[in-house]
Structure 1
């Protein structure tokens, strides 16, 4: 920090304060006292609190009297607090990679570090006006009991030495709670909810629990109303958790890398609109009652359930479902016959299901609302015999990395709303179906890495709506019969030299 910053007594904005230490004749002294006289407002992040030599130095920071601070971040170790305090930054990162939401790596802490950390945190108690609190890398074994009645958001990351969670159920305005990296917590119960609290977590809307490797039981509080407003719950990396409360108010539920037994604790849920089940490597089947009880479900994602061999027939009850994603379910060999009842479905994505051999027309039909269909990396899928005449709303069709797929259905002519068709890495595909010539709304056609595709059909000229044509890595494609096709009207035409096209007359 700049020398003499503690003299700027009228300074009101200081987003980041980095703790530095220096050696005195008897001990290490930090510059934490430099915050004492500053009348700060808004947001403050204090980094590298592990450099504080004595708990008494934290008292001099005088946080309890900074009544205009509304957001406080306290960080031990590596600098990750900024990411957790800035949701926009975290969302931006998620656009470039699947959201892993990994916590910062913990550092090794001795018993002395734990005691000192607890003393430092206790003396950094903020003013009661604080609204958002972030604690990252805290080395202590327990949390202090602070009274923060206006707190709306609390984030606890990598407090790996803590043996139990702090008491939070009494906080009247807390809306968002995120806790990750609690390596020693084995149970969640009354110590979390609090005693003598008639209404527990009265305002909590979103709860995120992740990376609790030894957590086994998350109990409810009998006789007292708990989580009356909770609508979004994410539980991640809790492999030993087998008991959890059934929060009836939930609308969004996301479960990652957990024990399959946890699913049977959720049979009483009835209001779910979004359900994500991911990384259940030992899951063989989904409890059908979880689907049949949630007929209002709008989005369902089943991802990385490698031993899942089938989907429950209760799937047909999801008549409000708009989006269905099934990926990395290598043992899934078939789809239930009730697919035709999903009349509200707008997006269907099936990918990386190696045991899936076919998509039978009796299983997928009647999807009159479907707008996007994506079939990717189903290496043994040999046929797609769906009734495309039912897909009158389909706009985008993508088929990628289906190495055994030799033909496409001829009834593509019924795709009266189709705008884009993408075929990538289908080495057995030798020709395009005749019915495609009647797809008069097709605007974009992409053919990539289809080595057996030898020629594009003469009827290509009939697709007057086509505006973009991309052909790449199709070595056998010698002829592009476009004598009468107005390719000069195309906005984009691309081909790769390895296609060896001999007839290009535009």
Structure 2
């Protein structure tokens, strides 16, 4: 919006609308009706009696969550609020005065840590409810009040966003549910599976838990899942810890839980039956693109999944009863052999010992990735139409048979090993090693082998995670040799003890290396490419995250191909390379979450830089950049794309005049925001 139009809108609406951006703002007029305020200034509201307030929207500028504690009586004098959006702050608990907002139509907030559910049940006029998870902590299931459908009779829309799930047994049939809904089945009234029949307006994701509590097939029939056409993702879960691993009633229950044919993704967990449901055999799920079966330990024979015309992702884990996979798996109709499947995973198939193909070999024409993990009895795989990227996860106690690796090599275009020990490599021939394109070492306690990994002459990607001793020293036998093959293009090191003096040694001779990623390497205090940079002629991207002891970078002068440099969440980082201005290829610079970063390089940035993102650095640097003045601002003023802070989408709405603001909110939330 042009500045003049913005100023005009503010002037026209100044008697009814106020936007508080900083602590220099004058006192909020007591008769104001619509207020938007930065989260860090919200505490000042308790000093003002806003009896006429209709709209309150709290926003934030920073990426990180701003944790606040509001007094319980913060809304006591503002009983006329219709629209309340608290998404801009991370509350420990909701103020008890939320209960007095009897006229509230729209309520949005991030889920507090302490119990808050009782605050909702008295909001009798609520029409739109928006709950969001947090970026600062792991998503968790939200237990919404079970009596909501009795109290919130006017609730028409509920958005359950970025949460691990939300129990939905308390919603009435007229409420549109959008997001991550969960239904936990119990053997008591109000929680039986048949309650889903009235919830006709579910959309997005639905997870049905504790299906072992279904006592009769008719309960599953009453759920009417095949009528719920807007469900995109369905998860059906039986608890494998609550009863025997196999159960005859599960066959009938799963057959009755036939989804709508529009379903896009399906996951079945802990099913105790032995048979496939009839709707798998009948090509019912013609729109299904993703299917996962997990810990269905009694399921003996897999249905013809190859006939699903749009299936792109197939995941089978813990299917212990499956011994053979053959023709019945691919189908025999007009559509067969997984025509567009791209990603296939087999994990924990402990008794699987046979996998046969078809006579014409027309299988998996679009397959891109095959992951085989913890399948100790498998000896060979069939020949595919495509040559996929094959990932093999190897356990130290059950390495794959040599014949399986030979079979994988015959099929794969890229062979990827996910391992916790590299000892099995010594059993492979040179020809077999030449097919290894990617090696992911996780939780490895072995030191670096004397000759390094130089034998893997075709290795392109090397990922190291949580390997405490692998990179902590260099063998005296390897003084005059390169430790890694020159074919490497991509290296990631995470949560591993690599010392700043040793890392350059590992990078010697890597003339093809284009990407280097360091994550949570807490022994790194500095990083210099001064001695090894002549080798790194292809290095284009360097990303360093969560290396809290890292203070400085140096020796970038000879990184002639470097295009992107990212330093994020490194608490002690304070110094970019002094010679960074000489790196004429650099196009993008990102410095985020580095509170000790006070100055940009004295000589400025190279003229080639097109994009710079600076966020959550030292307050002195942040202030200069926000005020667009000072020596540090002058170093980036010519750069075309400067991103200095992150705003939420609502901030842009709040720059509109009052009529336009409510028009946008009305269109988006379906009339929940009213002016009276």
Instruction: Verify same fold: TM over 0.5.
Output: yes
Q: Secondary structure at the match of 1:389?
A: coil
Residue 43 (structure 2) aligns with: none
CA distance in 2, matches of 1:438, 1:68: 59
2:243 to 92, 95, 109: 109
CA distance in 2, matches of 1:193, 1:370: 41
1:266 to 395, 405, 409: 405
Q: Secondary structure at the match of 1:413?
A: coil
CA distance in 1, matches of 2:188, 2:631: 79
Residue 85 (structure 1) aligns with: none
User: By how many angstroms is 1:114 displaced?
Assistant: 1.5
Residue 458 (structure 2) aligns with: 317
Structure 1 residues 141 and 271, CA, compared in 2 at 3 Å: closer, same or farther? closer
Residue 663 (structure 2) aligns with: none
Is 2:198 aligned against 1:52?
no
Residue 232 (structure 1) aligns with: 369
User: By how many angstroms is 1:18 displaced?
Assistant: 5.5
Residue 650 (structure 2) aligns with: none
Structure 1 residues without counterparts, runs of 5 or longer: 4-10, 78-104, 473-484, 493-506
Note the alpha carbon deviations across 1:262-282, whole angstroms, 9 max, x for none.
Answer: 38423443675666543x224
- 2:417–2:440 Cα contact (<8 Å) kept: yes
User: By how many angstroms is 1:388 displaced?
Assistant: 0.8
Residue 413 (structure 1) aligns with: 557
Structure 1 residues 426 and 271, CA, compared in 2 at 3 Å: closer, same or farther? farther
Residue 292 (structure 1) aligns with: 434
Is 2:505 aligned against 1:349?
no
- 1:233–1:252 Cα contact (<8 Å) kept: yes
| Mean Cα deviation higher: 365-374 or 375-384 | 375-384
- 1:331–1:354 Cα contact (<8 Å) kept: yes
Residue 252 (structure 1) aligns with: 389
Name the count of aligned residue pairs. 421
- 1:358–1:383 Cα contact (<8 Å) kept: no
Structure 1 residues 119 and 365, CA, compared in 2 at 3 Å: closer, same or farther? same
User: By how many angstroms is 1:47 displaced?
Assistant: 3.2
- 2:512–2:536 Cα contact (<8 Å) kept: yes
2:350 to 215, 223, 238: 215
Is 2:251 aligned against 1:118?
yes
Residue 97 (structure 1) aligns with: none
Residue 497 (structure 1) aligns with: none
User: By how many angstroms is 1:215 displaced?
Assistant: 0.9
Structure 1 residues 129 and 43, CA, compared in 2 at 3 Å: closer, same or farther? same
1:364 to 505, 508, 511: 508
CA distance in 1, matches of 2:515, 2:221: 60
User: By how many angstroms is 1:109 displaced?
Assistant: 1.9
Note the alpha carbon deviations across 1:470-500, whole angstroms, 9 max, x for none.
Answer: 998xxxxxxxxxxxx95462459xxxxxxxx
Residue 34 (structure 2) aligns with: none
- 1:251–1:273 Cα contact (<8 Å) kept: yes
- 2:327–2:357 Cα contact (<8 Å) kept: no
- 2:482–2:509 Cα contact (<8 Å) kept: no
CA distance in 1, matches of 2:229, 2:412: 39
User: By how many angstroms is 1:377 displaced?
Assistant: 2.3
1:31 to 182, 186, 194: 194
CA distance in 2, matches of 1:423, 1:58: 49
- 1:189–1:221 Cα contact (<8 Å) kept: yes
Residue 377 (structure 1) aligns with: 521
Between 1 and 2, higher relative CO (CA 8 Å, sep ≥ 6) is seen in: 2
1:162 to 298, 322, 339: 298
Structure 1 residues 42 and 201, CA, compared in 2 at 3 Å: closer, same or farther? farther
User: By how many angstroms is 1:108 displaced?
Assistant: 1.1
2:465 to 321, 327, 331: 327
- 1:283–1:308 Cα contact (<8 Å) kept: no
Structure 1 residues 254 and 263, CA, compared in 2 at 3 Å: closer, same or farther? farther
CA distance in 2, matches of 1:166, 1:397: 45
CA distance in 2, matches of 1:338, 1:317: 14
Note the alpha carbon deviations across 1:202-238, whole angstroms, 9 max, x for none.
Answer: 42514544652x61434221664374323222345x3
CA distance in 2, matches of 1:43, 1:137: 23
CA distance in 1, matches of 2:261, 2:548: 62
Q: Secondary structure at the match of 1:215?
A: coil
Q: Normalized against structure 1, the TM-score is what?
A: 0.58
Residue 482 (structure 2) aligns with: 337
Q: Secondary structure at the match of 1:325?
A: strand
CA distance in 2, matches of 1:326, 1:23: 50
CA distance in 1, matches of 2:184, 2:566: 56
Structure 1 residues 306 and 440, CA, compared in 2 at 3 Å: closer, same or farther? same
What is the correspondence of 1:447-466 to structure 2 with a 5 Å cutoff? 461-463=602-604, 465=606
Residue 496 (structure 1) aligns with: none
1:148 to 282, 288, 294: 282
User: By how many angstroms is 1:161 displaced?
Assistant: 4.0
- 2:433–2:456 Cα contact (<8 Å) kept: yes
- 2:308–2:335 Cα contact (<8 Å) kept: no
Structure 1 residues 389 and 194, CA, compared in 2 at 3 Å: closer, same or farther? closer
